């Protein structure tokens, strides 16, 4: 155990030990070196009931990992830090959720956290990156300043104290074949220092496609987790630059590589912050490299970003899966319809920001979530029920697929319990044979298509779940659906009306297809219609697994 712990003891790593907290403390004591070096250490009790972040709660993300692990296994995260108990945003780690990188000494950050704990009003200068984090309670303890002293800097600039750096800087470069890695690294560092920028603010490198296989560039990108964007000569040639070169034009087919690549990657609103500079090899190096720096108007780090499609279930957070809850705890930005976010409010921490959307603005919510994730943020796009069943997953995936592959953030779906499933569980066992779902909303689907589907389901003798059955603006569609189904079903066919599922005012009613009352039905209702063998008894609706005469197995 000691040797394995020593092997895993690296900054940026996480160590989860199953055992007694006292024994783990004694094991790691000789290895502890400091906040900037130690990994996150978590302890899980043998029964899996409690996850305890023992070391690196903020600095190494142990608190966050404990919350995610606990959600997955159904345990409890034991968080003892002051920020958690005082419900305040942790200034020293909140930027990670937005895809930012941190700089500053351990001592400086320790003092800043002390000042925050003592309720000092912090002077913060922010020159780049979204300011959504100011929507939290921290706003009352923060003064935004443009000049002079600041306790915390947010932007690309070098700062002697504590800093968060949104990824807005693009390093454009051109180099001779087989230029030394040390030369390119030194040239980037010197250019940043001359311009007053921090290396942590680099979003990536950009160059001509002829340099896509340059070993030194690939090694540097691997070391720093930078993407390498490359462009054809004709793409670079159309970018206006301040210092074009005839020699480069003859060699590369474009008058600029470094400046043009940096500006092209930074986007239409990008700005050239440092024009090209040529750096030559020292005695132990070879080659030459040209460096230019551009700044994008918004952060650009899709390789750091995450877009999680989360099905929140019918309403009660207790009905969410461990996978979905873990993803929700991981995300800094929550995007969804206001009602759905309200239902999940008990799970939200102070550093998690809500982006409330309107009911019919699904494309807007998907675009906003994808944009935030492309900037480097960890984003939850929330639907009720299951995100892949009448939810946001399809819209979000279409938008994601439209983006070039290199600009796509991580995309992951997390299934939830659909209203169909909970309605079935609450009413009995109506889905024991083939079933289908049909939405009666003709906002996105023509009504004649919906009618054909109802006819098909009636002919096929499916158990049917009707979603979006009736609204103030669509009062007649449910009645028409009932008429069509009565052409194929007896009036005595059982029907379950499930309203406000998973919420305090949940209602489950059993009736029949011939007696169903449309006035009891609205957009918060799911209607289950049985097939020819379904029946109701003692307040329960059931569909036999087989038809009469079928052999059951």
Whole-prediction pTM: 0.87
Per-residue pLDDT, 38 = 84
Quote the pLDDT of residue 480.
Answer: 95
Angle 444-417-390 (CA atoms, 0-180°, nearest 5)? 5
Number of Cα atoms under 13 Å in the Cβ half of residue 201? 30
Q: How far apart are CA 64 and CA 61, in angstroms?
A: 5
Q: What are the strands of the beta sheet with 50-55, ordered from one edge?
A: 14-18, 40-44, 50-55, 76-77
DSSP bridge pairs for 454: none
Cβ atoms of 227 and 170 closer than 8 Å:
no
Per-residue b or e along 332-362, where b marks 16 or more CB atoms closer than 10 Å to that residue's CB: bbbbbbeebbebbeebebbbbbbbebeeeeb
The alpha-helical segments, DSSP class H, found in 19-61 are 21-28
Residues 516 and 502: beta-carbon distance below 8 Å: no
Q: Tell me if residue 67 falls in helix, strand or coil.
A: helix
pLDDT at 29: 87
Instruction: Please report the pLDDT score of residue 40 as a whole number.
Output: 87
Task: Report how far residue 474's alpha carbon sits from residue 189's, in angstroms, rounded to the nearest whole number.
Answer: 63
- Residues contacting 356, CB < 8 A, separation 6+: 336, 337, 338, 341
Q: Report phi then psi at 365, rounded to 5.
A: -65, -40
CA distance 432 to 260: 63
Q: What is the pLDDT of residue 276?
A: 96
**pLDDT digits (tens), the chain, 553 positions:** 667 777 778 777 788 889 888 888 888 888 888 877 888 889 998 888 899 988 888 777 888 888 888 888 888 888 887 776 666 788 888 999 999 999 999 899 989 999 988 889 999 999 999 999 998 878 888 899 998 899 999 999 999 999 999 999 999 999 999 999 999 999 999 999 999 999 999 999 999 999 999 999 999 999 999 999 999 999 999 999 999 999 999 999 999 999 999 999 999 999 999 999 999 999 999 999 999 999 999 999 999 999 999 999 887 888 888 899 999 999 999 999 998 899 899 999 888 999 998 877 899 999 999 999 999 999 999 998 999 999 999 999 999 999 999 999 999 999 999 999 999 999 999 999 999 999 999 988 999 999 999 999 999 999 999 999 998 888 899 999 999 999 999 999 999 999 988 888 899 999 999 999 999 999 889 999 999 999 999 999 999 988 776 655 5
Residue 286 DSSP symbol: -
Look at the chain and count its residues: 553
Q: In 10 A of CB 498, how many CB atoms? A: 25
């Amino acid at each position: 155990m000691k040797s394995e712990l020593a092997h895993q003891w690296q900054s940026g790593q996480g160590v989860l030990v199953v055992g007694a907290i006292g024994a783990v403390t004694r094991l790691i004591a000789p290895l502890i070196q400091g906040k900037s070096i130690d990994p996150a250490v978590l302890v899980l009790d043998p029964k899996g009931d409690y996850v305890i972040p023992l070391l690196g709660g903020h600095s190494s993300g142990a608190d966050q990992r404990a919350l995610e692990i606990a959600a997955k296994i159904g345990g409890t995260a034991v968080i003892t830090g002051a920020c958690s108990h005082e419900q305040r945003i942790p200034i020293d780690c909140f930027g990670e959720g937005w895809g930012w990188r941190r700089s500053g000494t351990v001592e400086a950050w320790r003092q800043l956290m002390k000042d925050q704990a003592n309720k000092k009003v912090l002077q913060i200068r922010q020159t780049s990156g979204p300011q959504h984090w100011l929507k939290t309670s921290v706003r009352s303890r923060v003064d935004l300043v443009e000049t002079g002293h600041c306790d915390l800097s947010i932007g690309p600039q070098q700062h002697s104290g504590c800093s968060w750096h949104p990824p807005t800087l693009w390093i454009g470069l051109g180099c001779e074949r087989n230029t030394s890695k040390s030369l390119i690294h030194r040239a980037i560092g010197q250019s940043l220092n001359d311009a007053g920028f921090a290396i942590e603010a680099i979003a990536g490198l950009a160059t001509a496609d002829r340099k896509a296989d340059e070993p030194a560039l690939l090694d540097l990108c691997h070391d720093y987790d930078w993407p390498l964007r490359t462009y054809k000569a004709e793409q670079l040639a159309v970018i206006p630059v301040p210092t074009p070169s005839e020699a480069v034009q003859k060699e590369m087919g474009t008058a600029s590589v470094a400046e043009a690549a940096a500006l092209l990657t930074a986007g239409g609103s990008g700005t050239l912050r440092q024009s090209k500079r040529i750096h030559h090899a020292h005695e132990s190096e070879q080659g030459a490299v040209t460096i230019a720096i551009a700044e994008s108007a918004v952060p650009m780090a899709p390789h750091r970003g995450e877009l999680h499609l989360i099905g929140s279930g019918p309403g009660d957070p207790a009905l969410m899966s461990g996978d979905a809850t873990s993803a929700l705890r991981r995300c800094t930005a929550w995007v969804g319809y206001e009602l759905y976010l309200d239902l999940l409010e008990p799970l939200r921490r102070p550093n998690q920001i809500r982006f409330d959307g309107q009911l019919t603005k699904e494309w807007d919510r998907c675009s906003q979530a994808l944009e935030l994730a492309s900037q480097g943020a960890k984003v939850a796009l929330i639907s009720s029920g299951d995100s892949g069943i009448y939810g946001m997953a399809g819209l979000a995936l279409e938008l994601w697929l439209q983006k070039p592959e290199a600009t796509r953030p991580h995309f992951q779906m997390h299934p939830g319990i659909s209203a169909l499933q909970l309605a079935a569980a609450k009413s009995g066992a109506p889905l024991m044979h083939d079933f289908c779902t049909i939405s009666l909303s003709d906002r996105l689907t023509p009504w004649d298509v919906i009618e054909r589907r109802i006819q098909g389901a009636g002919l096929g003798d499916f158990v049917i779940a009707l979603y979006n059955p009736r609204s103030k603006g669509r009062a007649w569609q449910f009645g028409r659906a009932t008429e069509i189904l009565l052409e194929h079903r007896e009036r005595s066919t059982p029907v379950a009306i499930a309203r406000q599922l998973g919420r305090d005012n949940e209602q489950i009613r059993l009736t029949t297809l011939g007696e169903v009352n449309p006035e009891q039905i609205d957009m918060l209702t799911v209607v289950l219609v049985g097939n020819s063998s379904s029946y109701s008894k003692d307040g329960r609706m059931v569909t036999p697994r087989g038809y009469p005469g079928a052999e059951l197995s």
